[in-house]
Amino acid sequence: MEGSVLARIAAIVFVAIAVTAALVEMGRDEAGQAARPAAPLMPETDPLRAEQRRCQELGEAAASDPDCLAVWAETRDRFLGRDRTGGE
């Protein structure tokens, strides 16, 4: 390989390392620790989650269970960001 080709490869590797280091540094706070979200996205105890587990354990019978159908409707509405009170 020629010297100019090696110099270009070295420059590309250097820039890639510099960009990676900059991105890692931007993700840290002042104390040098990785930045974390301020609050968890989901509450610790979610009654809907417990009902989802119950319906999961029912298996095929859950398809005809009215409580499971309501749980799935609530889950779908939460996922889609819909307001179940009717005011969207």
Each residue of 49-76: pLDDT tens digit?
A: 889 999 999 999 999 999 999 999 999 9
> What are the residue ranges spanned by the domains of the chain?
1-35, 45-87
DSSP string, the chain: --HHHHHHHHHHHHHHHHHHHHHHHHTB-TTSSBP--SS-SS-S--HHHHHHHHHHHHGGGGGG-HHHHHHHHHHHHHHHT--TTS--
Is it the case that residue 2 has pLDDT exceeding 70?
Answer: yes
Predicted local confidence at residue 25, as pLDDT: 84
Determine the pLDDT at residue 42: 60
Average pLDDT over residues 39-49: 73
